[in-house]
Copies of this chain bind each other. A is one copy, B any other.
């Protein structure tokens, strides 16, 4: 069972994870730069691509993705957080816009200067797509 401090950290990690998908979807390169760690070593493994190591190559690739001809509206479904002290791993499914999720992802964050910042992202194909979760009904 998580302590109150861990629960708070878990919520903060989920907010950082949500800000990653928001930056992605809105092609907000500045937000993406702010999210990735400034000091800790970083790496990014896009689906079916080569390994990117270091802040420069990782952010260059994000800029290319964000300025590409087909903007991606990337959704994160079923995020699951594992707290490991000042490090946290989020696993989730990823889907484009309203389509079923077709990717599964690992997002790793570290606590840096009081903020949860991304140090690692890997996404790869799911064996079969997973329908988008039903939206939670508003309670009057």
| Chain B residues, CB < 8 A from A83 | 41
Contact B120 A123 (CB under 8 A): no
**Would A106 and B45 count as touching, CB distance under 8 A?**
yes
Verify B123–A124 contact, CB threshold 8 A: yes
Give Cα A99–Cα B48 distance, bound, in whole angstroms: 18
Tell me if B124 and A50 are in contact (CB < 8 A): no
- Contact partner of A108 among B45, B89, B123, CB < 8 A? B89
B contact residues around A122 at 8 Å (CB): 104, 106, 122, 124
Tell me, rounded to whole Å, the shortest Cβ–Cβ distance linking A120 to chain B. 5
> Which residues of chain B are near A42, meaning CB under 8 Å?
82
Residues of B within 8 A of A91 (CB): 43, 45, 51, 53, 120
Q: Let me know if A51 and B104 touch, CB within 8 A.
A: yes
Residues of A within 8 A of B (CB): 40-43, 45, 47-51, 53, 80, 82-87, 89, 91, 93, 104, 106, 108, 110, 119-120, 122-127
10 shortest interchain CB distances as A-B pairs: A124-B124, A87-B87, A41-B82, A48-B127, A106-B122, A122-B122, A84-B87, A84-B110, A45-B104, A43-B91
